[in-house]
Structure 1
């Protein structure tokens, strides 16, 4: 079941990846993840060009309530949210995982309407999606000051700390905070806190606990778009790392545990098989029905959210939620 490297050492592998114009970080992470038991690949690699488009389709599905609900929260409470940012002096509005910016544009328009003095800094690991966002912003909001950053969130925050003086309001919308392994959400917020100053603000989206059936359907839609989104990860590895995954021999599986409040997603091998990464000169064996863990999605109670903020050095200022209490955008103040 272990990954079998045919190169003599990791340095040779990295050199080969660079020589063939592959992303060495992707190669390293995939190799390390597939060595583990159980096998795993980070969900951050879902979002190539095709993956980002598929996720946009997921957000439009009738079963996928998080985006629709958060959109309504932002539409109905945009003025109040904007006032909580503090509009009396200049600030950098930094969005981690900006995507297509559809929801954020609600706040951007409101802030411009309120004549706030700010610069929007969208951050995303996908350069393709940022190019589309930059283009749409120039057309839709030509007065907006922007400076985007392609790459890892913390590299972006480090860059901002070094290059962008002044107050910051950080957005981490959607339910991305729930996608970390156990304890990863706290580590993430603590890491963000390191790059911020007292009185800076952080607005985070949290998916709240609710009927388990509603949650499960959101991650296993009837049309199979979520399955295609997960399996697109294998397509990416075929294209970018020279793998030979046969997508017909793998399937998407997900389930929700109401006790822990966690949705877990997997890609499952339907049979015993070996996948070869020809560009990297290594192969990986799968047992029948062996799974690759791809994503967690934690659901929270309000008490858990406040405790999480306190442990990270953030004071809860305001919950912005919907009438069903399905979702909450929570504003924290750095202390």
Structure 2
């Protein structure tokens, strides 16, 4: 492996494409082109999660603040804040209620944090914002030593990308670094008519297909691999019984490709699958069970008008 900046991606592709059940992590969707395609996905009428959460945070942030009922100054700590457009609705509503808080967005990208800080300062000039760049748990550990109560945000339905045991592990780790009375507001997509979910993840415009196929283009470019994208297709399936959307790249023929960076030839059978993403949907019973299993209590579920999605407020 001759280029250190590719090491995580390269290592994960090597591991994922040499196992029996091939996979590449969905976190690698988001190179520059992938991020642009995801912006298109979020604007599709079929892709409801973004609009649902925006509606909740635009219309119910005042209720969220009243439910939290912190009586002293507090921190709002966001895991993976992204562009912050949805969060801005919550922060503005809290500021309108004269809440005294510090907003602490955590992201592994310094560039993302710099852009977020600039955008927030433009929209909310009086916001006390203190971004932290790094690992969630390093920052969490520092905050747990402080005396102020914390509201943690884990928005965007991101918990749905974790397998059940991984979700439990992550939430237990969050809980371990939280103080008694701290709260977690978590975006969670709800089980609903399977056709609505299927269309959101396998849209008629082919945008989600492009999003997945871009992963092959990234591998070709960064790992110097001779992949022929037209020898692959995209497949996504929602199982209403277990609430899982699973997405795959499908090899259309028996084929091999070589990566110079990895100095490895990868082999695929005809119709072999490369798993790319899990997106889990929850029932209210499953939300309660997940909270209980990880040391939390569900305080309230804030829903959009169609009841497609919840921002679920948990207390330690």
TM-score by length of 1: 0.88
Q: What's the CA shift for 1:204?
A: 0.7
Tell me, in whole angstroms, the C-alpha distance in 1 between the residues paired with 2:9 and 2:260. Answer: 15
Structure 2 residue matching 1:288: 3-state secondary structure = coil
Alignment of 1:186-225 (within 5 A): 186-225=168-207
What stretches of structure 1 of length at least 5 have no aligned partner?
Answer: 1-12
Q: What's the CA shift for 1:183?
A: 2.4
Structure 2 residue matching 1:58: 3-state secondary structure = helix
Aligned pair count? Answer: 316
Partner residue of 1:228? 210
Partner residue of 2:281? 299
| Aligned 8 A contact 2:74 2:102 in 1 | yes
Partner residue of 1:9? none
Deviation string 1:245-302 (CA, Å, 9 cap, x unpaired) is: 2222222210111111111001112222222221232221111221111111111110
The structure-2 alpha-carbon separation of the partners of 1:49 and 1:194, relative to structure 1 and needing over 3 Å to count, comes to: farther
RMSD of aligned C-alpha atoms?
2.0
Tell me, in whole angstroms, the C-alpha distance in 2 between the residues paired with 1:317 and 1:98. Answer: 23
Alignment of 1:36 onto 2:36? no
Tell me, in whole angstroms, the C-alpha distance in 2 between the residues paired with 1:50 and 1:85. Answer: 39
Partner residue of 1:5? none
The structure-2 alpha-carbon separation of the partners of 1:214 and 1:67, relative to structure 1 and needing over 3 Å to count, comes to: same
Alignment of 1:246 onto 2:228? yes
Structure 1 residue matching 2:3: 3-state secondary structure = helix
Q: What's the CA shift for 1:99?
A: 1.5
Alignment of 1:51 onto 2:37? no
The structure-2 alpha-carbon separation of the partners of 1:156 and 1:272, relative to structure 1 and needing over 3 Å to count, comes to: farther
Alignment of 1:17 onto 2:3? yes
Q: What's the CA shift for 1:221?
A: 1.0
Alignment of 1:83 onto 2:66? yes
| Aligned 8 A contact 1:177 1:206 in 2 | yes
| Aligned 8 A contact 2:14 2:262 in 1 | no
Deviation string 1:215-272 (CA, Å, 9 cap, x unpaired) is: 1000011111111112222222233332332222222210111111111001112222
Tell me, in whole angstroms, the C-alpha distance in 2 between the residues paired with 1:127 and 1:275. Answer: 34
Q: What's the CA shift for 1:133?
A: 2.1
| Aligned 8 A contact 1:231 1:247 in 2 | yes
| Aligned 8 A contact 1:124 1:149 in 2 | yes
Q: What's the CA shift for 1:128?
A: 4.7
Tell me, in whole angstroms, the C-alpha distance in 1 between the residues paired with 2:225 and 2:147. Answer: 44
Worse-superposed segment, 33-42 or 80-89: 80-89
The structure-2 alpha-carbon separation of the partners of 1:121 and 1:52, relative to structure 1 and needing over 3 Å to count, comes to: farther
Structure 2 residue matching 1:215: 3-state secondary structure = helix
User: Given the alignment, which residue of 101, 106, 119 partners 1:123?
Assistant: 106
Partner residue of 1:6? none
Q: What's the CA shift for 1:202?
A: 0.2
What stretches of structure 2 of length at least 5 have no aligned partner?
Answer: none
Q: What's the CA shift for 1:42?
A: 1.3
The structure-2 alpha-carbon separation of the partners of 1:275 and 1:122, relative to structure 1 and needing over 3 Å to count, comes to: farther
Alignment of 1:106 onto 2:89? yes
Tell me, in whole angstroms, the C-alpha distance in 2 between the residues paired with 1:153 and 1:232. Answer: 28
| Aligned 8 A contact 1:47 1:126 in 2 | no
User: Given the alignment, which residue of 33, 43, 68 partners 1:60?
Assistant: 43
Tell me, in whole angstroms, the C-alpha distance in 2 between the residues paired with 1:158 and 1:48. Answer: 29
Structure 1 residue matching 2:88: 3-state secondary structure = helix
Structure 2 residue matching 1:248: 3-state secondary structure = helix
